[in-house]
Structure 1
Amino acid sequence: MMEWVEVTAKTIHDAQEQALDRLHVTRDEAEFEVIEEPKAGLFGRVRGEARVRARIKPTPVRPKRDRRQRQRSKNTKRRSTSPAQESKSMNTKEQPERPEVSPQEVADAATAFMSGLATAFGADAQTATEVDGTDIDVRVTGTDIGRLVGPGGRTLAAVQDLARVASQRRLGDHDTRLRIDVGNYRERRRHALEKFVLAVAEQVKDTGETKALEPMNSADRKVVHDALTSVDGVGSRSEGNDPHRRVIISPS
């Protein structure tokens, strides 16, 4: 089961948007619980912050029909089928339920996919995998792997989506978070982005003016929100729709 993430922000909506960025999903794919609402103070001013927790909606399990309903359905089917059809259905075995997919199985499938993709790109690559609960990190290192990253990491983002789809086709749906990193690109970008965002936060504090960052993917927006949680005097929220969704940094 996907674990809950907890977020605080000025409003419930902002907290929910930040939670979506952390989970890398859309609003339809998440469920929320409001833990604490902002309180109204004097003259209509708002005191305190909203506190919300969210998680990816678990995959619904199809309920089993009770024995009587199954028997009624079986008898109805027997009366409505011909002898030849009934004989054929008796020889057809019921398909067993698919067992629950473990994070390690997903990691193995993603690793195999990345190894094959690197070979197809003509890269001499090695893969390393780390599984922490439902979080899965697959790191690819080696030579001639730059094409797996692409300008601004756009190819890497597409590769990560392909790895997720490949694992789902092979194993079925699973409640895991899969992250692919090539040549330590994500780590280097995270450090550079954190440094940039902290500088922008200082500008916002000094000038009192709100700053809008360039559109970013959900992973980069999460880095921004996380970096600003330790900065007093500023707040962040996400606005817009992908692929034009961006982070707004404002005085708090």
Structure 2
Amino acid sequence: MQETFTGTTVEEAIQNGLSSLNVSEQQVKIEIEDPGKKGLFGVGRRAAVVSLTIIDPELKRYTPAELKSNAQVSEDEEPVIISEPQSQATVNEAAERNAEESQKPKKDLTASAGQTLQYLLQILKRMNIEATGTVTTKSNEVGINLESADAARIIGKRGHTLNALQTVAQTYIQQSHKGYVTVMIDIENYREKRRETLENLALNMAQKALRSHEPVKFEPMPNYERKIIHQVLVKMKNIETYSEGREPHRYLVIKSK
């Protein structure tokens, strides 16, 4: 889904597009078709032209008309709302129960991974979400792939709920397995879609930093998501990146050199 917008400057064209589609820069890929031209006393003036393409997995299924009318939920679909206090309470309860597991004998990775999956399914059940899942293990890495009719609720806005579940799983498995283990939870290939979104976002924000000559701050995100953005921008010689803040509110900053 791609649409073209114009303005007297590139920034104005971008803002016109974002306003028209009712989206943010984080949700689209921005391509500058024509930087425009100021002209002299109005002579030779040419409008700037940009193309915006929706890259946010949560918005790709909507048409431009639905986005413009702020139709985030179709008529035959009820909105799913997960309040932050509820989600945080669930995570806190899970973290408290992890302490009990620390006294149990250590298990091999496959057994620990399977136990972690069952633990996550119990948490989801308490959230009134039915789900199933499979696990894969490789070296010191564990992959957990979930399946559910309520995938959107498990993912949460920009993956916040999925990331919270992943933090719980990471803590839980460390209590039952010797050595450091990394856990990655996925559902409906969300992680790959999110990677695509972050890679495009990195390029968008890099161009913005170059145009404005001002530092551009990203929203707080997990370390592995910041790493994805850094890997894209490290190839750009005129851009530098660094992180600020403390976990879980640490964020990435990019600026032109």
Give distance in 1, aligned partners of 2:180 and 2:110. Answer: 12
Residue of structure 2 in register with 1:183 after alignment: 188
RMSD: 2.7
Q: How many residue pairs end up in the alignment?
A: 154
Residue of structure 2 in register with 1:240 after alignment: 245
Give distance in 2, aligned partners of 1:248 and 1:240. Answer: 10
Amino acid at match of 1:240: G
Report the alpha carbon displacement of residue 198 of structure 1 after superposing the two structures with TM: 1.1
Among 162, 169, 191, the alignment partner of 1:156 is 162
Amino acid at match of 1:144: D
Give distance in 2, aligned partners of 1:165 and 1:213. Answer: 26
Give distance in 2, aligned partners of 1:167 and 1:181. Answer: 16
Task: Give the direction of change, closer, same or farther, for the CA distance of 1:141–1:231 in structure 2 (3 Å limit).
Answer: farther
Residue of structure 2 in register with 1:231 after alignment: 236
Report the alpha carbon displacement of residue 238 of structure 1 after superposing the two structures with TM: 0.3
Report the alpha carbon displacement of residue 101 of structure 1 after superposing the two structures with TM: 4.6
Give distance in 1, aligned partners of 2:237 and 2:138. Answer: 31
Give distance in 2, aligned partners of 1:232 and 1:146. Answer: 38
Give distance in 2, aligned partners of 1:206 and 1:106. Answer: 50
Residue of structure 2 in register with 1:203 after alignment: 208
The unaligned stretches of length 5 or more in structure 1 are 1-97
Give distance in 2, aligned partners of 1:250 and 1:126. Answer: 43
Largest Rg, 1 or 2 = 1
Report the alpha carbon displacement of residue 207 of structure 1 after superposing the two structures with TM: 4.5
Residue of structure 2 in register with 1:138 after alignment: 144
Residue of structure 2 in register with 1:166 after alignment: 172
Give distance in 1, aligned partners of 2:196 and 2:152. Answer: 19
Residue of structure 2 in register with 1:94 after alignment: none
What secondary structure does 1:237 align onto?
Answer: strand
Among 120, 131, 143, the alignment partner of 1:125 is 131
Output the TM-score relative to the length of structure 1: 0.52
Post-superposition CA distance 1:130-180 (Å, at most 9, x none):
3222121111122023322223322222212222333344x2553111121
Give distance in 2, aligned partners of 1:176 and 1:167. Answer: 8
Output the TM-score relative to the length of structure 2: 0.51
Task: Give the direction of change, closer, same or farther, for the CA distance of 1:100–1:229 in structure 2 (3 Å limit).
Answer: farther
Report the alpha carbon displacement of residue 99 of structure 1 after superposing the two structures with TM: 7.5
Report the alpha carbon displacement of residue 125 of structure 1 after superposing the two structures with TM: 2.6
Contact 1:234 1:251 in 2 (8 A): yes
The unaligned stretches of length 5 or more in structure 2 are 1-103
Report the alpha carbon displacement of residue 247 of structure 1 after superposing the two structures with TM: 0.8
Give distance in 1, aligned partners of 2:248 and 2:113. Answer: 28
Report the alpha carbon displacement of residue 202 of structure 1 after superposing the two structures with TM: 2.3
Contact 2:233 2:240 in 1 (8 A): yes
Is 2:233 the counterpart of 1:221?
Answer: no
Give distance in 1, aligned partners of 2:107 and 2:234. Answer: 34
Contact 2:174 2:181 in 1 (8 A): no
Report the alpha carbon displacement of residue 113 of structure 1 after superposing the two structures with TM: 1.8
Amino acid at match of 1:231: M
Give distance in 2, aligned partners of 1:138 and 1:248. Answer: 31
Give distance in 1, aligned partners of 2:202 and 2:226. Answer: 11
